[in-house]
């Protein structure tokens, strides 16, 4: 089968690079000292609450890695065994298109991308580093969202949909932030797939105490993206091996194997096992840049525990997953296998552009794609995202089910 390549692309995973003042421009004076850029030798790092993080090598983003610099690594073509740092090579100056929507639109046109979700890069660093100070986290995230609205808007000309962040340390703060996003035109919001810390300690944002937030989200019809983030299980891994660094480019094989995709698998398990998706069956949840290898093991666990504890589930967890979840797999993952598990209308293309672990350009996906028929190509490359967003599909044949 020859691969059809003419489908209009809706890229479910692109990123902005924030300006150096993105976290502080709108941050109240009382919190200004909590966010600092510090110089360590020749390198700039960010310190949140006096804790320096190396997870993002250059948080000012004046110099960034080339888009797709790690493509060979993630495609399994790293025969020379080079590290991510070695593959990265010399950085490049951040293009204006990485910084604002006016310059991004012409680049999207060049790339053949019709619409895209635009995710921040710094957000997951904030929520990880300041997690136990939930009021500070809420203040920084609100400042970031204000910057994002001012710089990108949440819906730029119906083509670039920036993703304001909802941090769930307290239900009240989360609802207030969601109201800010929704009233300012957000078409999609971002929540970190992880437990949250609040006045009562750590717990899942899928517990019934958060129902008021999920009710607000369901009533709005706005989808929620669960994007990969700095792993919340670092402290667990550090019990097994030395925490030499948390820089994502120098993580050990053990760390990568053990972490796997626990955060997204656990978050989805919580949304289903704790009943959120049953209490709010119209929620639309999108997993982005979390891959898809975790889905088969999770489905196996659901099947096993549903047999053993049917009383714990009001609905079969597989049915809940297929009703409420959308998946944007890694670009190197198998789409056809995923379709067999979750359904043809639940899979969305994402390039992760311009991050180094993403594709050098979105259409480069076809260099790795399994042959898909024309209908599935339209669906995966764009129309499934449009369905999730309640936008018209662009397949001239209309919105028929997959053949």
Average pLDDT for consecutive 10-residue bins of the chain (403 residues)? 89 97 96 91 85 81 94 90 88 96 98 98 83 93 98 98 97 98 98 94 97 98 93 79 69 81 94 98 97 95 98 97 97 90 97 96 92 94 98 89 52
- Residue 1: per-residue pLDDT: 65
What number does CATH give the domain 9-388? 3.20.20.140
Cis check: omega of the bond before 39, within 30 degrees of 0: no
CB 365 within 8 A of CB 111: no
Q: Residue 1, SS3?
A: coil
Scan for tokens 């890069």, then name that residue: 121
Going by C-beta distance under 8 Å and a sequence separation of 6 or more, which residues neighbour residue 253? none
Give the tens place of pLDDT for each residue, 165-219: 999 999 999 999 999 999 999 999 999 999 999 998 999 999 999 999 999 999 9
Domain spans of the chain? 9-388
- Locate the DSSP E strands across 83-211: 92-93, 113-119, 160-162, 189-190, 196-198, 201-203
Give the tens place of pLDDT for each residue, 72-104: 998 899 999 998 888 988 999 999 999 999 999
Rounded CA gap, 175 and 298, in Å?
A: 30
Q: How far is CA 353 from CA 39, 42, 116, 360, 378, in A?
A: 28, 27, 10, 7, 20
pTM: 0.95
Q: Residue 371, SS3?
A: coil
CB 233 within 8 A of CB 264: no
Burial status of residue 110 (CB atoms within 10 A of its CB: 0-12, 13-18, 19 or more): exposed
Radius of gyration of the CA atoms of the chain, in A: 20
Read out DSSP for 215-273?
HHHHHHT--EEEE--S-TTHHHHTTTS------GGG--HHHHHHHTTHHHHHHHHHHHH
């Amino acid at each position: 089968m020859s691969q059809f390549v003419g489908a209009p692309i809706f890229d479910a995973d692109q990123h902005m690079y924030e300006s150096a003042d993105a976290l502080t421009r709108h941050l109240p004076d009382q919190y200004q000292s909590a966010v600092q850029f510090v110089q360590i030798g020749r390198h700039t790092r960010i310190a949140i609450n006096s804790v320096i993080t190396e997870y993002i090598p250059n948080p000012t983003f004046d110099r960034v890695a080339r888009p797709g610099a790690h493509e060979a690594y993630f495609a399994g073509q790293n025969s020379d065994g080079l590290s991510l740092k070695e593959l990265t090579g010399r950085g490049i100056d951040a293009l204006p298109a990485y910084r604002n929507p006016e310059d991004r639109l012409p680049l999207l046109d060049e790339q053949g991308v019709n619409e895209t979700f635009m995710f921040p890069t710094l957000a997951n660093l904030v929520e990880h580093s300041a997690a136990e100070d939930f009021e500070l986290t809420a203040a920084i995230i609100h400042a970031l969202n204000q910057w994002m609205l001012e710089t990108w808007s949440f819906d730029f000309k119906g083509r670039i949909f920036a993703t304001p962040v909802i941090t769930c340390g307290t239900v009240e703060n989360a609802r207030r932030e969601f109201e800010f996003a929704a009233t300012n035109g957000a078409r999609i919001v971002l929540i970190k797939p992880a437990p949250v810390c609040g006045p009562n300690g750590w717990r899942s944002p899928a517990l019934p105490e958060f129902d008021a937030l999920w009710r607000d989200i369901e009533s709005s019809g706005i989808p929620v993206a669960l994007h990969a983030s700095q792993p919340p299980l670092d402290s667990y891994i550090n019990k097994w091996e030395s925490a030499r660094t948390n820089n994502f480019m120098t993580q050990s094989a053990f760390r990568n194997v053990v972490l796997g995709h626990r955060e997204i698998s656990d978050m989805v398990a919580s949304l289903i096992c704790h009943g959120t998706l049953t209490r709010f069956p119209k929620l639309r949840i999108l997993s982005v840049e979390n891959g898809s290898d975790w889905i088969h093991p999770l489905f196996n666990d659901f099947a096993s525990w549903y047999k053993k504890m049917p009383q714990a589930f009001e609905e079969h967890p597989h049915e809940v997953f297929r009703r409420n979840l959308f998946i944007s797999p890694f670009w190197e993952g198998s789409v056809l296998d995923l379709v067999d598990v979750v359904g043809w209308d639940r899979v969305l293309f994402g390039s992760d552009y311009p991050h180094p672990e993403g594709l050098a350009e979105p259409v480069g996906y076809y260099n790795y794609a399994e042959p898909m028929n024309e209908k599935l190509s339209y669906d995966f490359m764009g129309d499934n995202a449009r369905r999730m967003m309640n936008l018209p599909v662009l397949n001239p044949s209309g919105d028929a089910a997959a053949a």
